Chains A and B, each alone.
Chain A
């Protein structure tokens, strides 16, 4: 099986997010980037599938801060090849990103009858929707998203995937290869990789660089402004020592007849 994983880096929302002076983008001086959570699960699912069915895992991502760390992490996990798509990509959103990924796949001849493309169902900055569906439409291949399990059916050369609906209800779909799958969560939690293993990979492995011209990529919708959400001011903040705060919480629980 030829498994491709597209990784995207997103701002770490645990950190403070500041808006740039023009009011239309995040101030990158303040940003720390991390691997999009559902992409980390896509990587894990790819490794699970490689272990289960054999084949080769290629991971690729658009050049951005901290991308190389994620690519080395992917290699340490068991990916066979890691590719950095060189360029300045921070102004592009999902329709254009899909065009770049499709261009990469076509240039490298990676779309075959045994290809499964995995990426996160949705990223926290997908203002124009899910990249995976733009990609599948460009490639004219089937796609499903919010997937939590992928099983290969060799007799049909298809995958059976499990999609989450709502309220715990899920459904099974079948897609012929080649296909694009949007992973919500891998079948198992992402495995732990010791730092020493990643450092060793950094010494012994090389990240491949791929150049893709950014001419004629879809221009996204124009954002008038970014803003911090207005606090509804709903929460009354309880302050003081842990004991004082807990005394207030228990007072509230008493008032509501909860204890």
Chain B
């Protein structure tokens, strides 16, 4: 019988991504409960030195090849398929990130395995695993029961503790020399972030605007507030996509991860793609007129009101008491 949990480590330019340790942490728990081994695989170019960081796994497979620099998801899926079959794994954990996009769906088609996306929780009862996924921007959760631990599960970043996926013990590494398939698309080059006027990851106070700001003129309110507070204005994806602010101001999955002392969220619903980039801020205050906005679940303080009523009053209050 196949057994073993296979975590596909994620790395970007030689650095193991946080999601990897989240997956290793929950993978370790599941493997120990089920009494099966935990495997990890790091796949890429110049990744030989990264295997030692994954030592919480019982075995770490390293597949290092120049052809694997930001590889086509079809190529990555082919490698995972070989590992899964050779090492007799049963459950595959991959990151729910831009880097791993497509790998789960391709594997599901190639291997006939169930694929569960957006997973935020995993629990075990007997031999069955229950996966909890978020849907509809985090407004609804779904539960799926797997009668046996055989599936591909995409883990949503920020769902599990990273610390539980780290270990100081030496890693048991196997460097594998696998045939690398020809990809269907070619990686040409990296495009570095455009230098912005300001580095929002270094600011202590951020006033962040979301779709609720409604139009570009209203961003002036946030700018007036930040002039008094000190810091910078940033935004969630819809505001950036409208062209109202530059890419360097984007917080979230594709943008920056920030941890300021104050994150004041104006008209931001709290879609998981955004909260991934700001949930660790020291103090989060959110203003949103939707009482069910998921942003309130990760905020320290919330105000359920129209930001256009609150922000001008807040500017006056800060001015009068500063």
Contacts and interface: CB of A to CB of B under 8 A. Distances in A.
Contacts of A11: 136
A184 B242 CA distance: 13
A19 interface: yes
A221 B130 CA distance: 13
A243 B313 contact: yes
B294 A229 contact: yes
Interface string A225-245: 111110110111111001101
Contacts, number: 268
| Secondary structure dominating the interface of B | mixed
Contacts of A133: 73, 101-102, 105-106, 109
Contacts of B134: 229
Contact of B191 (A14, A169, A235): A169
Most buried by A among B99, B136, B255, B304: B136
Contacts of A19: 140
Given A133-B106, A249-B314, A253-B262, A237 B302 contact: yes
Interface stretch (B111-119, B158-166, B170-178): B111-119
A225 B144 CA distance: 7
A232 B138 CA distance: 13
Contact of B305 (A144, A227, A234, A245): A245
B268 to A, nearest CB: 13
B97 interface: yes
A167 B257 contact: yes
B248 interface: yes
Interface in B247-263: 247-248, 250, 253-257, 261-262
For the side of the interface on A, what is the size category?
35 or more
Contacts of A185: 237, 240-241
For the side of the interface on B, what is the size category?
35 or more
Interface in B182-204: 184-194, 204
Interface string A94-135: 110000000000000000000000000110111111101110
B104 interface: yes
B190 A129 contact: no
Given A127-B118, A175-B185, A229-B297, A236 B140 contact: no
Contact of B141 (A182, A229, A236, A258): A229
Interface string A3-46: 00000001101101101000000100000000001000100000
B184 A169 contact: no
A171 B191 contact: yes
A206 B203 CA distance: 53
A182 B116 CA distance: 19
Interface in A37-60: 37, 41
B302 A172 contact: no
Given A223-B144, A227-B140, A238 B303 contact: yes
Interface of B: 12-13, 17, 70, 72-74, 97-99, 101-102, 104-106, 108-110, 114-118, 130, 133-145, 154, 184-194, 204-205, 229, 237-238, 240-243, 247-248, 250, 253-257, 261-262, 269, 282-283, 285-286, 290, 292, 294, 296-305, 309-310, 313-314, 316-318, 321-322
